[in-house]
Amino acid sequence: MEFRVLSYFLTVAREENISRAAETLHITQPTLSRQLSELENELGVKLLNRGKRKTTLTEAGLLLRKRAEEITELTEKTRHEFYENQKLIAGDIYIGCAETNAMQQLATAAKKISTLHPQIRYQLFSAKADEVLERLEKGLLDFGVLIEPPNLNQYRSIELQERDTWGLLMRKDSALSSKTAITAQDVWDIPLIVSQQTLLTHELYHWLQKDPKDLHTVATYNLLFNASLLVKAGLGYALCLDKLIATGQDSELCFRPLSPQLTARVYLIWKQHHHFSKAANLFREELTRASSD
């Protein structure tokens, strides 16, 4: 399976038309069609549904697109690492991150490094913990920034100085906004908007003193910004971490911490035997120093 043919396949998947894809690739349509047919024969599956006006992917084609995108991304990452100037620390650092205020510590480290090495670039991938871990395992990321990740002993890690605080995001005109802190009993019967992974954390599960299945959950979210729009519309209260959504004087929203207070540790993690570029190794060293101060 040639990388060039995978690139052809991805172009067809994007254009949804073999003729347009051939024009984009500057090759003839018969040549492109032949290459795709040979790829299907090699894999022993049908990848494309060829219509008169539109070409769509089969189930096998959707799987190949996902894998081809990962291969392409890893190839580009490898190319950047090998073309780094030997005398100049440069290149890309790939970081997968959950939504956390602890990213400020990474931002401070990145700014400090950039004054001496302005050719270092940072590629951020924001996603849920399981997606970040998957990309770490495949070598698509150098680091992951996760909130109390599972199986931490499988990775090398640095505990970041910043800790996140759990609480409720709500409208300022809501009934609970007059409280300075939120108890478990306060959330038992209100409409809740929760992270798709929030209630899996042991500490929060213990704090609730109730089975999550018995809560009145009206929505789940992956990105808190989108959930905040549901809160603003009055759909419910978002159980979330502090300092991710602006709640200043001009905002319709406010945040109230949980009581007893519940905080979460945040870690920078990486694979135990990951080979770092010079840029990524410098970044790790800077964060190690900053976290030990």
Tell me, yes or no, if the two domains 84-162+266-292 and 165-263 fold the same way: yes
CA–CA separation, 150 vs 129, rounded Å? 9
pLDDT the model gives residue 152: 79
pLDDT the model gives residue 84: 57
Q: How many CB atoms lie within 10 A of CB 289?
A: 11
96 pairs with which residues across the strands? 125, 144
Q: Does domain 3-79 have CATH number 3.10.450.50?
A: no
pLDDT the model gives residue 79: 76
pLDDT the model gives residue 51: 87
Q: What is the residue extent of each domain of the chain?
A: 3-79, 84-162+266-292, 165-263
pLDDT the model gives residue 57: 93
Tokens for 191? 């409409």
Contact 129, 100 (CB under 8 A): no
The structural architecture, per CATH, of the domain 84-162+266-292 is 3-Layer(aba) Sandwich (3.40)
Contact 200, 131 (CB under 8 A): no
Average pLDDT across each block of 10 residues of the chain; the chain has 293 residues. List them in order: 88 92 90 91 92 90 92 83 66 93 94 92 92 92 89 88 94 97 96 80 81 91 94 97 94 97 93 90 93 77
CATH of domain 165-263: 3.40.190.10
